[in-house]
Amino acid sequence: MSADPILRKGETLNSGEYLTICYELHHVLLPELSDEGFIEFDRFEDKVRRGMKFDEVRRFLEQIDDDHDE
């Protein structure tokens, strides 16, 4: 999948907000997730693929969601 930020239907960003999100996504979040093995991030192709530990992060996110509901 593309590493471009995904917006919800009807959601908009001004150019500054978009640049901030792109910077944080490409230079902070995706590299951290890649370092942990949850994803593979190819900065040159601007692509994200599932990493070796992808299913582990899914269980972690489900746990956060469950904790948030309580």
pLDDT tens, residue by residue, 9-48: 888 889 899 899 889 999 999 999 999 999 999 988 889 9
- The residue ranking higher by pLDDT, 42 or 69, is 42
Q: What is the pLDDT of residue 5?
A: 76
Closest to 53 in 3D by CA, of 68, 39, 69: 39
Q: Is 70 a residue whose pLDDT tops 60?
A: no
pLDDT band at 68 (very low <50, low <70, confident <90, very high): low
In contact, 18 and 5? CB cutoff 8 Å: yes
Residues contacting residue 51 through CB under 8 Å, at least 6 positions apart: 33, 34, 36, 37, 38, 39, 40
